[in-house]
Structure 1
């Protein structure tokens, strides 16, 4: 009998390398960046018209002669596919609130303050540049958001030069940043609202909350009711459908049906039964063995919260399917705009300055002030250089900034100005932050002890 997992040829040369690629936290950011570059190249190539026109193809859902949902492909991606990203984001937010960096007041206070200030300062700077322009001012929410995936990708590329505590701290205030972005989308970038559709969606949302309370743990149930009962009504209501995805995520159970001690005891008992069970001389299993293994599988499922099962299974889907497709559909900027048009208003300067300077002031400036006032302490092993680095890297505002751009502006010129500004700011912030964190600090004591 083999005591080790047998490796077939397909496992060794296909499946295992693919699993390794998908599990690498850096690869998601690299694939996303690659998709964005491909979109920009195609948008400025001889195939530009075909590439950009592809996203205008319409997909509709109807019955007989009645069409219920009729949108172009770009709309389906920005309201439908991207909702999977927001759903996973909602799962992460709930996990952090239940048992993570945002689970207690002492843990959450610094990330919350930094996350909020990191949104306010960029918005204020954008307002200073564009406050007098009634059309341009609609983009004030664009520089508020940072791209957690890209920043974490850079932090992981830096390896041991960035302690785990720094990555956790960034993730914590980055999550607050995401909450702020979701609220801005819900409260600001929402069109005329159909109260009937919204009420229907909220009714099914309450149903999911009740299902959680009475112990329903089927992810299929939450998926069906969430899509048909919550997401579609929100889509038809005028409130952005991504908000429905976040709300549904918060209804997913985050508890287990058995304690860790009870699970270990059960598995040990089943292992003994499996060891004592009569077996065939060949490679197949007896009914008794199959029954025991099925019980072990069921017990493992009971010991894993549905929230974490979904989060774990959907992360690769988001990183390697959803986000690259979103980038292909939204990052294709045609650089046929001349400098006079690019700088015909202050959208470009407002976004670049907001992301690069605003994020720095809101994160580093406020944290440094709180440290000087002895109101907070930096996480263990985190230095001022680390704080500087992640404050600058937070100016990488790709995914969420591009998404808000599509909601803020209707004018193609304004959209192009905003996208070019987002790319410019992200490049400046990414290179500057990486160089700063990659350099060897002169003194290991470059830390504020308060």
Structure 2
């Protein structure tokens, strides 16, 4: 199975980022529970203008992360795994199952409670962590499995973005939203006019971000919207989209996501932290990510294949799909991101959720790694021509 150089670069940067994220998370937890706690937390609460440094990271830097996700999704739609409806249907359905079933399980425990707004938490997949764990299996992993997990995770993140836009929006300002969409419209016209300079898109993107920030809709949405008005052309390395995607890979993988992890995993682990794991919210998060993800992905994929709507990717078996479902249960970055939106005024629930997310992601990752390690023993992987 032939893959593009850009996909290979994306996979390589994301898998390396997963290792960096593990290190940053461990460091952040250590500092937050050491004698340096107050100084460390003070860094993230340091005021810059009207907001804290943490706020600018979550609302500003993460917009660039979503821009990269949007560019990768655009590439997949035009010339990648999602360009053929028959090929696209499999990871799309997998992603839908991997969102709906976890959300349903979460609501089984939290419906009608103050934490029911956290249903979006177990719907997410952390691309960097998931690909990072997958990479530990080395050359035994078929390219079709790498492409499937990547496409699944990208679509999953798009679903998370839609959830953020639809369910985590407060005090909508139609005026500011209208200006943001108007700027997007102008950039779309530039796209159709084949304006090849990146400058108007960057300036317009900053404007979209500012007005989206003040519209009530989370500002990171502007990153994805911007991606789809940046000219894709023929997808060659000379196009703005390809250049920007290539340029953003390393800053996002090795700066933005690690900084996000450092800022949002500074959790004080109290003596009663295990009590929090008995909370309905924690149970919903754990079962959603560890049970709901693999179950939803396997079930929905099995149904579309059974009804003849699509086929299993070449070289893969159902046990591989099920094992990959556990990899998708590594929510981490995206799950924490949604937690911050779901429980804005509930700091205790944020802390409980973060601990549950980290434990759930760790368990899902270990199960996925062990399961795939066993199921891939009999798979003969042929080196792909890149």
Query: Is TM more than 0.5 here?
Result: yes
The partner residue of 2:298 within 357, 364, 368 is: 364
**Offset at residue 444 of structure 1 (A):** 5.9
**Offset at residue 443 of structure 1 (A):** 6.0
- The answer to which of 314-323 and 50-59 deviates more is 50-59
Please name the residue that 1:200 is paired with.
179
The partner residue of 2:155 within 173, 176, 183 is: 176
1: CA distance, partners of 2:223 / 2:229: 10
The partner residue of 1:335 within 266, 269, 276 is: 269
Q: Across the two proteins, how many residue pairs are aligned to each other?
A: 370
The partner residue of 1:235 within 199, 213, 228 is: 213
The partner residue of 1:47 within 29, 36, 55 is: 36
1: CA distance, partners of 2:134 / 2:333: 18
1: CA distance, partners of 2:30 / 2:311: 46
Structure 2: runs of 5+ lacking an equivalent: 1-8, 381-386
1: CA distance, partners of 2:375 / 2:295: 24
- SS at the partner of 2:51? strand
Contact 1:161-1:437 at 8 Å conserved across structures: no
Please name the residue that 1:277 is paired with.
none
2: CA distance, partners of 1:403 / 1:347: 16
The partner residue of 2:225 within 247, 253, 256 is: 247
**Offset at residue 375 of structure 1 (A):** 4.0
**Offset at residue 374 of structure 1 (A):** 4.4
The partner residue of 1:376 within 300, 310, 320 is: 310
- SS at the partner of 1:439? helix
1: CA distance, partners of 2:100 / 2:150: 18
Contact 2:320-2:375 at 8 Å conserved across structures: no
1:292-351 C-alpha deviation (Å, 9 max, x unpaired):
xxxxxxxxxxx6111010000110000011001000100111111515751463010000
1:256-309 C-alpha deviation (Å, 9 max, x unpaired):
5xx98xxxxxxxxxxxxxxxxxxxxxxxxxxxxxxxxxxxxxxxxxx6111010
**Offset at residue 441 of structure 1 (A):** 5.7
**Offset at residue 373 of structure 1 (A):** 4.4
Contact 1:162-1:386 at 8 Å conserved across structures: no
2: CA distance, partners of 1:373 / 1:107: 15
Q: Larger RCO: Structure 1 or Structure 2 (Cα < 8 Å, ≥ 6 residues apart)? A: 2
2: CA distance, partners of 1:173 / 1:219: 29
Structure 1: runs of 5+ lacking an equivalent: 1-19, 61-69, 261-302, 446-450
- SS at the partner of 1:218? coil
CA RMSD of aligned residues (A): 2.1
Contact 2:97-2:300 at 8 Å conserved across structures: yes
The partner residue of 1:158 within 112, 137, 141 is: 137
Contact 1:56-1:72 at 8 Å conserved across structures: yes
Larger Rg: 1
Aligned pairs for 1:37-186 (under 5 A) are 37-60=26-49, 70-133=50-113, 135-186=114-165
